[in-house]
């Protein structure tokens, strides 16, 4: 009987959870009470672990120092080790301070109302890319709010608890946001893939998108305000129906420790021209041949001769001169072929205006006031 009782309990517990999953999937409603209780119970432990990590590093440092202080010969080495550790620690502190200062500066500059938050944990889902931050409903955070850094968008708030919130990162397969390209203003849908890069979907194959181009939020999704950097195009390729555009999300590139939760977003203009992180462009001088050709064209233009603006024009002029020099008229059937290998620049250009420029048509005698055409060379 005991065996059947155990089996019965197993079946009941499994069936109850199956119904729970079905209910949530079908109604799209969440059992927020259990999540809230769990996060409230776990977040102090997570914070304690975080603090313990910092303290244990200090304890380890002091322990090493005490052990080695007895050995006089290695005292200097110990001090050096200590200095190195301190240096590393201070560097880390400095980096953290810089990051926090940058975040604070960005927070002051941006017109949007934001609240700074610290990452305290990751999600436990099989393929999910979600994190927990130490700001919750008490701080004014609400579900659906955008989460950003000065470098770009990070994710959006999916669950809010009194003292913490869950943020779905833009790399999560369930994440989506409206984006627009910087150069051609092509709209698309940014989707997470479960890995470091993200995909911009719903961009037609015919539309041109270049590697290195920036994508910004379009504001269409009503989560992210318009004009926030989303990422830079790493790879573009033709897809079956839509282009496959892979971005490096810029908001996650410098690691993720502190973020800003946007309490009230304000749309911004998408910056023109180059992307936000690119400096001034240096241009080198053009090649000598190109410069000479341009100078010749400029002179010809100034002297009244039609400018040879393209390579085809210059080739036509060269062939025409070869024909003039060798006395060959092109277009006559049975005429001999000229030697196209000769260099017309080695031969002095004939003075007589053979074919250089079309002669102006003789003015009709009735029109007395007609101005004469340009002189033929």
Partner 1 sequence: MPDISDQRLIDNPRRGKISKFRVVWLIFIPLASIAFQVNIPLFFKHLGYLELPLLVTVYFSLMQRNPMGGTLIGAVIGLLQDALANQPLGIFGMVKTLVGYFAASISIKIDVDNTTIRAGLSFFFFFFHQFFTWILVRALLGQAIDFDITQTLLFGLLNALVAVPLFLILDKLRERG
Residue 55 interacts with partner 1 (CB under 8 A): yes or no:
no
Q: What are phi and psi of 260, to 5 degrees?
A: -115, 130
Part in contact with partner 1 (CB under 8 A); list of ranges 5-13, 139-147, 179-187, 367-375: 5-13
Q: What DSSP string describes 94-158?
A: HHHHHHHHHHHHHHHH-SSEEEEEEEEEE---SS--EEEES--GGGT--TT-EEEETTEEEEEEE
Three-state secondary structure of 204-268: ECCCCCCCCCEEEECCCCCCCCCCCEEEEEEEEECCCCECEEEEEEHHHCCCCCEEEEEEECCCC
- Are 321 and 311 spatial neighbours (Cβ–Cβ below 8 Å)? no
CB of 269 to partner 1, least distance (A): 33
Residue 80 interacts with partner 1 (CB under 8 A): yes or no:
no
CB of 147 to partner 1, least distance (A): 14
- Are 175 and 191 spatial neighbours (Cβ–Cβ below 8 Å)? yes
CB of 291 to partner 1, least distance (A): 54
Pick between residue 30 and residue 313 the one whose CB is nearest to partner 1.
30
Q: What DSSP string describes 18-73?
A: HHHHHHHHHH----HHHHHHHHHHHHHHHHHHHHHHHHHHHHHHHHHHHHHHT-GG
Task: Say which residue the tokens 């940058």 belong to.
Answer: 102
Under rule CB under 8 A, how many of the chain's residues touch partner 1? Answer: 50
- Cα–Cα distance between 193 and 372 in angstroms, integer? 73
CB of 263 to partner 1, least distance (A): 22
Residue 60 interacts with partner 1 (CB under 8 A): yes or no:
no
- Cα–Cα distance between 215 and 198 in angstroms, integer? 11
Part in contact with partner 1 (CB under 8 A); list of ranges 37-45, 102-110, 220-228, 320-328: 37-45
Site string for partner 1, 129-148 (x = CB under 8 A): -xxx----------------
Residue 123 interacts with partner 1 (CB under 8 A): yes or no:
yes
Residue 42 interacts with partner 1 (CB under 8 A): yes or no:
yes
- Cα–Cα distance between 191 and 178 in angstroms, integer? 9
- Cα–Cα distance between 191 and 176 in angstroms, integer? 5
Residue 126 interacts with partner 1 (CB under 8 A): yes or no:
yes
- Are 145 and 138 spatial neighbours (Cβ–Cβ below 8 Å)? no
Residue 25 interacts with partner 1 (CB under 8 A): yes or no:
yes
| The one among 137, 140, 173, 276 contacting partner 1 by CB under 8 A | 173
Pick between residue 6 and residue 298 the one whose CB is nearest to partner 1.
6
Site for partner 1 in 195-224 (CB under 8 A): none
Part in contact with partner 1 (CB under 8 A); list of ranges 97-105, 126-134, 232-240, 335-343: 126-134
Residue 172 interacts with partner 1 (CB under 8 A): yes or no:
yes
Pick between residue 47 and residue 320 the one whose CB is nearest to partner 1.
47
Part in contact with partner 1 (CB under 8 A); list of ranges 22-30, 204-212, 335-343, 363-371: 22-30
Residue 9 interacts with partner 1 (CB under 8 A): yes or no:
yes
Residue 2 interacts with partner 1 (CB under 8 A): yes or no:
yes
Task: List contacts with partner 1 (CB under 8 A).
Answer: 2-3, 5-6, 9-10, 13-14, 17-18, 20-22, 24-25, 30-31, 34-35, 37-39, 41-42, 45-46, 48-50, 53, 119-128, 130-132, 158, 166, 168, 172-174, 194
């Amino acid at each position: 009987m005991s065996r059947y009782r155990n089996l019965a309990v197993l079946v009941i517990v499994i069936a109850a959870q199956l119904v729970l999953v079905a209910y949530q999937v079908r109604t799209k409603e969440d059992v927020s009470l259990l999540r809230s209780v769990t996060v409230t119970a776990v977040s102090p432990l997570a914070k304690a672990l975080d603090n313990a990590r910092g303290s244990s590093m200090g304890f380890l440092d002091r322990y090493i120092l005490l052990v080695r202080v007895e050995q006089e010969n290695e005292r200097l080495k110990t001090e050096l080790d200590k200095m190195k550790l301190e240096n590393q620690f201070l560097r880390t502190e400095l980096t953290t301070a810089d990051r926090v200062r940058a975040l604070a500066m960005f927070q002051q500059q941006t017109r949007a109302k934001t609240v700074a938050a610290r990452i305290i944990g990751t999600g436990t889902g099989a393929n999910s890319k979600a994190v927990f931050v130490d700001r919750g409903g008490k701080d004014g955070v609400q579900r659906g709010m955008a989460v950003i850094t000065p470098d770009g968008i990070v994710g959006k708030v999916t669950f809010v608890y009194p003292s913490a919130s869950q943020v779905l990162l833009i790399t999560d397969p369930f994440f989506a946001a409206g984006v627009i390209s910087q150069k051609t203003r092509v709209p698309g849908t940014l989707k997470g893939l479960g890995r470091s890069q993200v995909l911009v979907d719903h961009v037609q194959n015919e539309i041109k998108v270049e590697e290195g181009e920036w994508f910004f939020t379009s504001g269409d999704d009503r989560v992210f305000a318009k004009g926030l950097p989303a990422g830079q195009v790493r790879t573009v390729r033709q897809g079956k129906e839509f282009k496959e555009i892979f971005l490096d999300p810029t908001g996650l590139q410098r690691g993720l420790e502190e973020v800003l939760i946007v309490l009230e977003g304000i749309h911004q203009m998408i910056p023109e021209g180059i992307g936000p992180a690119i400096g001034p462009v240096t241009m080198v001088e053009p090649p000598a041949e190109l410069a000479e050709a341009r100078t010749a064209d400029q002179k010809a233009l100034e002297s009244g001769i039609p400018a040879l603006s393209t390579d085809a024009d210059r080739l036509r002029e060269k062939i025409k001169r070869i024909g003039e020099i060798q006395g060959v008229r092109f277009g006559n059937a049975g005429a001999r072929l000229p030697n196209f290998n000769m260099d017309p620049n080695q031969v002095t250009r004939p003075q007589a205006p053979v074919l250089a420029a079309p002669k102006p048509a003789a003015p009709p005698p009735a029109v007395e006031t007609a101005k004469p055409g340009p002189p033929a060379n």
